[in-house]
Structure 1
Amino acid sequence: MSDPVLILTDQPSSTEEQVIGSGLDDFNLLKAGYRDWRAVAALARDPQTNEPLGGMIGRTSYGLLFIEQVFLPGTLRGQDIGSRLLRMMEDEGGRRGCKSAVLYTITFQAPGFYERHGWTEFGRVACDPPGTARVFMTKPLPSTSEI
C-alpha cells in the first residue's frame, strides 16, 4: 500500500467521524474486553414549548463520567438549576458504575461553581484570551448504593 494522503479539515464528514469513532471503539474493545460508551444529558426545557433552553451533555465510559458541554442562559442562572442539573449528571454516572467524573471549564466560565459542588482542580493550561486558562477538574462519584 502506498502512503495515505494526509489532510487537515475543519469539517470532517460523518463518514470520516464514523471511521475514526468505530476504529477507536474496536481498539478499546480489543484492549479492555468490553465497550460501554454511553451518552448522557441533563436538560432544561421550556415548560410551555418543551424546547431546550440549556443543560449539560456528556458521556460515560470505562468508569468515568465526562461532562463535555454546559450552558444555561443568564435568565436561568442563580436559581439552583445548574446545581440540580450537575447532581443529575453525577447521580447518573454513579448509577452507571462510574467511580469519578471529569470536566474542563475556562477561568472566565465556572470553576468556582464546580468547586462549591466538591470538584477539585487537577490541571490548568493557559489559553486565549491572554490571562485565561482551561481548568481541568475531577470529582469522585458515589456508588449506586450511596445514591
Structure 2
Amino acid sequence: MSEFQITCENSSSPSDLKFLQEKVSEYNFSQIGQYEYKPLTVFMRDQDNQIIGGIDGMTGLGWLHIASLWVTDDIRGSGYGKKLITAIEEEAISRGCHSAYVFTYDFQALPFYEKVGYSIYGQLDDFPVNHTRYFLKKKLNQ
C-alpha cells in the first residue's frame, strides 16, 4: 500500500476548494438528487431608504436557513423582528419550504426565536467559552 501525504493548509487555492466542494456535491446528488440553495433577503427601510432592519438566509431541500437577523436598537422590541421573520417564512413557503432552522447564541436572540415558534433541538456549551450556541427549528405552515 502506498503512503499518502496529508497536509493542513491555512490558505488553500480556490481551485482546490472548488474541487473538494464539487466532489461532495457529486456524492450528495448521487444520494438525494440535484438541488440548489437560493439566497433570500428581506430588508426594512425608513423614509430615507436607509436600512433599519433585515433578515437573510437561503432556501433549499425544503428548508429555510436563517443566517442573520438585525433590527436597529431604537425600534428593537417593537414587533419589527417578528414582521421580518413572517416575511422571510412566507417567501420560503412559496419556494416550497416546509421547515426553518437558525443558530443563535445565549447573548443574542434565543428568547425572540422561541417567542416566534422556534424550538431548540441542540446546543453547544462553551462555544465560545462561557457561552452557548443554540440550534432551533420550526415547522412552517403550508
The alignment's TM-score, normalised by the length of structure 2, stands at 0.81
| 2:121 counterpart residue number | 122
The alignment's TM-score, normalised by the length of structure 1, stands at 0.79
Letter in 2 for 1:63: G
Q: Give unmatched runs, 5+ long, in structure 1.
A: none
1:29 aligns with 2:26: no
Distance 1:30 1:4 in 2: 28
Aligned-pair CA distance for 1:27: 3.1
Aligned-pair CA distance for 1:24: 3.6
Q: Give unmatched runs, 5+ long, in structure 2.
A: none
Distance 1:4 1:120 in 2: 44
Which stretch of structure 1 is more off in the superposition, 105-114 or 18-27? 18-27
Aligned-pair CA distance for 1:124: 1.2
Q: Flag the structure with larger Rg.
A: 2
Q: CA RMSD in A?
A: 2.5
| 2:7 counterpart residue number | 6
Aligned-pair CA distance for 1:68: 1.3
Aligned-pair CA distance for 1:30: 2.6
Counting aligned pairs with the same residue, the percent is 27
Distance 1:42 1:58 in 2: 9
Pairing of 1:52-67 with structure 2 (within 5 A): 52-67=51-66
Distance 1:19 1:72 in 2: 38
Does the CA contact (< 8 Å) of 1:63 and 1:98 recur in 2?
yes
Query: How many equivalent pairs are there?
Result: 140
